[in-house]
Copies of this chain bind each other. A is one copy, B any other.
């Protein structure tokens, strides 16, 4: 089934079940008012929501039109957002650009940071920032929402806790990263609010594209309407979601509604760093990686980071060409030109 949260006057919006083709939806306030409320009691609530989803497809369930731009992030605020870096290829490239060597342990021990989860952007919200000089970048990723996971759970157990899959734009401020990481406490100011896809879907909805721990579909990233990346999220993912969740749960319980991210999707090409889309490659899911390739090839980066007015779109299509999660589509704006985003 597919779930979304419609914006309303509350902080958590209201939960709806969305039709497979993303055109219609049904309100389900009588079952669970919000997605977090559904996740708090997922075992009992999910089967009831699944019946609604079935009714939507057969026509038995009354529906209203679903518009992606009326959706908030499926969890407009969450109790936890932990983002891995499972495409180690990406990590290696980013480090190379900082002239920092990558330890060999990164291939066996997942990298993960604790992200801010208190106020996500809606999928069509602007990315409002005070300065272009912060080096605003998108990061196209896949993320999963888990039910309760006990401390010390194995990757196998962790995989069975995956309730929902969605896409995320993990906005990053590249200009603030080096100084912040040098302080040793990880990202904070360099990771502003993220935005998630309009729709979150249960794994069974993904068919053969979901293997239990990875999603085997290309992540379509466009910048100002031009294809920028189409890397396959199932390729070169060194750690699957089960491993990432187990990593997060090593020394603590994870509460239902925890979101775990894959890190920027990134594909190698013949063992090398991939090629831009315009040169026939699968491109990149963030500008930083493009700049690194340019630096490697020509000695300096050519593609600027995002500027006010630039538009990013992140989407994923099934084999029939239909959008699976709806699209994240965000324009970069100067903070203060708009009221609260």
Q: Find A183's partner among B106, B248, B250, B258 (CB 8 Å cutoff).
A: B106
Residue A63 lies at the interface, judged by CB distance under 8 Å to chain B: no
Q: Mark A120-151, 1 if CB is under 8 A from B, else 0.
A: 00000000111000100000000000000011
Q: Contact: B116 with A114, CB < 8 Å?
A: yes
Contact between chains at A340 and B253 (CB < 8 Å): yes
A255 CA to B341 CA, complexed, in Å: 13
* Contact pick for A185, options B77, B116, B118, B187, CB 8 Å: B187
Determine the chain B residues whose CB is within 8 A of the CB of A251 once the complex forms. 129-130, 134, 173, 176, 189-190, 192
Is A316 positioned at the interface, with any CB of B under 8 Å from its CB? Answer: no
CA–CA, A80 and B77, complex, Å: 10
How many Å lie between the Cα of A185 and that of B115 in the bound state? 10
Determine the chain B residues whose CB is within 8 A of the CB of A182 once the complex forms.
Answer: 103
B118 near A247 with CB under 8 A, answer no
Q: Does A331 have its Cβ within 8 Å of any Cβ on chain B?
A: no
- Chain B residues with CB under 8 Å of A188's CB are 82, 112-114, 247-248
Tell yes or no: A277 within 8 A of B by CB: no
Q: A107 contacts the other chain (Cβ, under 8 Å)? A: no
Check: A310 CB closer than 8 A to any chain B CB.
no
Nearest Cβ on chain B to A153's Cβ, whole angstroms? 12
Provide the residues of chain B in CB contact with A167, threshold 8 Å.
none
Tell me if A222 counts as interface (CB < 8 A to partner B).
no
B80 and A252 form a contact (CB under 8 A) = no
Whole-angstrom CA separation of A176 from B335 in the bound complex = 39
Whether A116 and B173, one on each chain, are in contact in the complex, defined by CB atoms closer than 8 angstroms, is no
Q: Kindly report which residue of chain B lies nearest to residue A336, judged by CB atoms.
A: B152
Q: Which of A156-196 contact B (CB under 8 A)?
A: 173, 176, 181-190, 192-193
Q: Is the CB of B152 within 8 A of A130?
A: yes
> Does the CB pair A79–B253 fall under 8 Å?
no
Chain B residue nearest to A12 in the complex (CB): B40
